[in-house]
A and B are shown apart, each in its own frame.
Chain A
């Protein structure tokens, strides 16, 4: 049997029949194996597996097993593997979950490798610090993003909106909503109703000069903040310039169901690394605006890491894992494959290398990113354990407000009380 036929056989059989009884074997023998686990989509998976191939070619002797699943199922599997002490060596992390995992001791700090095998000295400090908890680096930023009011450029043009979309205020925003709704005869509303978006609400609180959580993990947002937020949207709903309430109460809908994708509204709230995905489903050309500012208020919006790569507690061959991690953010070939798909890289060198090859939407996100640099506030302190549950409570209680089943002020104080109780119980 020649080598070629044997390999061909392995290629077709190995994946299927052999896998029935045997543990999945890497494609070729390697002395060291690391596992990389991420949430993805077809596009991201393709790029990531290409990265793995490239890395393996350059590092003979290290095999990388790529494991992927969609966002919705990712965390269930992650929790199970964590409980079984069988986490992948490298796991993709989200800002929302980072602290839950770090605080429980599931991740290893990276500080001892920095400057030795992990070269990140010339990276932007701000985005890099987003992976720090209690002064230790637990997660390597593999892309940054910020909030963005995605808007329909055609609708904006037709309605003659000339506001400065980086510096605009909530008043400008309300006027724009009115104009767009009037221009389209009510067919297209000005904006999605953001009542239930705790991420935007967080900016609102910061514009009022407070943080949502204090450094010692207490809820510092006030019932007044909540009331004013929900009241503003209630007024816009009453004026009929934002999306129908029955669409608003569908929580975390897929991008394809958002107002801007469907064509119900001219604005939706998203994260800047999602622009490519939104343009893929939106009929008109999209643009990027900042979350409106409070006239005379503090900066509310902030730049945060969109995705991290973390070293898990169960990692055995840390040297191989760190080598892979380092290649991810430094190897020009690998970063070229990754592009901006996971967010804006925090290495200026890599950004410069990517710049000439950007698509139109990618350029939009880079330009937006550059424009907001001086307009954003500092990264908020890490959220305490239980923040995820607070988010759910915000949406749950807010639903009754949106549907008009409960008075705004009463719901607001209920939420603050619940949030405090949740945080207290989670500690």
Chain B
């Protein structure tokens, strides 16, 4: 009997233990769920704060001109859809042309940035060569100098090349890795990849280009995706260089066209300008949504190591 009593006790104890374990698990699940809900609530509140300005912009794009400044309420008293329809044709050239122009400049620039900057970054991050730190320092320096003081010498330079009033000053530098930001970004990511990869590939007889193409790039998709997104957004929104280098209104890009709506001293068309600003965000948002998948997909590949 004694044994059975002990067995019983043991059974009870085990049962108890299982129950406690179960409760603990339940509690943890509950905590997890609570934690997730809390996290969502927090993120939703933050989202509202983050989105307020966009709502404001959207609302303003439907408002009559004198309501944009006069009223603090978000909701327009009457919806002026004509801000969109009229805005598209408000300038001497229709926005269709500006969009095509922007697409050309941006498309070429993004390709140029990704190719040339990843080349340079690969050299800086994965290859040993004489003068590496020297050139790296020079590259960093180009990031630091305020753009406005090189504007005029640069303008003179492109003028002498006969490039002013073409897209060449906007596009060619990007194929020559002019934006050190992306080089530095890629360098930081490339350096994180394990060295054994290159060493093994080298032993297998892979050329440096093969290593760059078949190993480094595929493993750096999150970085390349990030660079592509930034590059697209920044070029799409770039204003100063198109302002300086484009003269003919037929060649204007979207941000430049947006500046034609405003006249500090005279008649402005804020409603139409906001409407066109909202539309100008659309391609960027679409691109963002498409390319952020690339960042996500990166997990699978880089998790592999």
Contacts and interface: CB of A to CB of B under 8 A. Distances in A.
A–B direct touch in complex (beta carbons closer than 8 A): yes
A17 interface: yes
A282 B91 CA distance: 23
A261 B108 CA distance: 44
A272 to B, nearest CB: 12
A274 B231 CA distance: 41
B259 A24 contact: no
A16 B97 contact: yes
Given A41-B267, A42-B272, A83 B248 contact: no
A256 B260 contact: no
Given A15-B93, A67-B247, A261-B69, A21 B266 contact: no
Given A21-B167, A68-B260, A252-B264, A41 B249 contact: no
Contacts of A276: 267
Contacts of B201: none
A16 B152 contact: no
Contact of B91 (A45, A80, A84): A45
A45 B260 contact: yes
B150 to A, nearest CB: 12
Nearest to B92: A49
Nearest to B71: A262
Interface string A27-68: 000000001000111111110010000000000000001111
Contacts of B155: 80-81, 83-84
The secondary-structure label for the interface of chain A is helix
Contact of B251 (A24, A77, A255): A24
A19 interface: yes
B157 to A, nearest CB: 9
Given A42-B261, A70-B260, 11 more contacts: A14-B250, A17-B104, A19-B101, A20-B104, A23-B165, A44-B263, A45-B92, A69-B243, A70-B264, A72-B264, A255-B268
A22 interface: yes
B97 A41 contact: no
A86 interface: yes
Given A46-B92, A80-B152, A35 B266 contact: no
Contact-size category for B: 35 or more
Contacts of B247: 24, 35, 65, 67, 88
Interface string B115-139: 0000000000000000000000000
Contacts of B97: 15-16
Given A19-B248, A256-B68, A83 B152 contact: yes
19 contacts: A15-B251, A24-B166, A42-B260, A42-B261, A44-B267, A67-B249, A68-B260, A70-B262, A72-B259, A76-B243, A80-B151, A80-B244, A88-B247, A254-B264, A255-B267, A256-B270, A274-B265, A276-B267, A277-B267
B100 interface: yes
A72 B259 CA distance: 9
Contacts of A49: 92
Given A15-B251, A276-B267, A257 B69 contact: yes
Interface string B257-282: 00111111111111010000000000
A359 B282 CA distance: 39
B244 A256 contact: no
B111 interface: no
Contacts of A65: 247-248
B70 A262 contact: yes
A65 B250 CA distance: 10
A339 to B, nearest CB: 13
Nearest to B252: A69
A377 interface: no
A77 to B, nearest CB: 6
A346 B10 CA distance: 111
Contacts of B244: 76-77, 80
A264 to B, nearest CB: 8
A40 B260 contact: yes
B156 interface: yes
B44 interface: no
Contacts of A66: 92, 249
A255 B250 contact: no
A351 to B, nearest CB: 20
Contacts of B101: 15-16, 19
A254 B104 CA distance: 33
A70 B259 contact: yes
B179 interface: no
B164 interface: yes
A104 to B, nearest CB: 15
Given A20-B167, A67-B248, A256 B91 contact: no
B66 interface: yes
Nearest to B99: A16
Interface string B234-253: 00000000011001111100
B250 A24 contact: yes
Interface string B82-119: 00000000111100010011001000100000000000
Nearest to B272: A42
B166 A41 contact: no
A66 B165 CA distance: 13
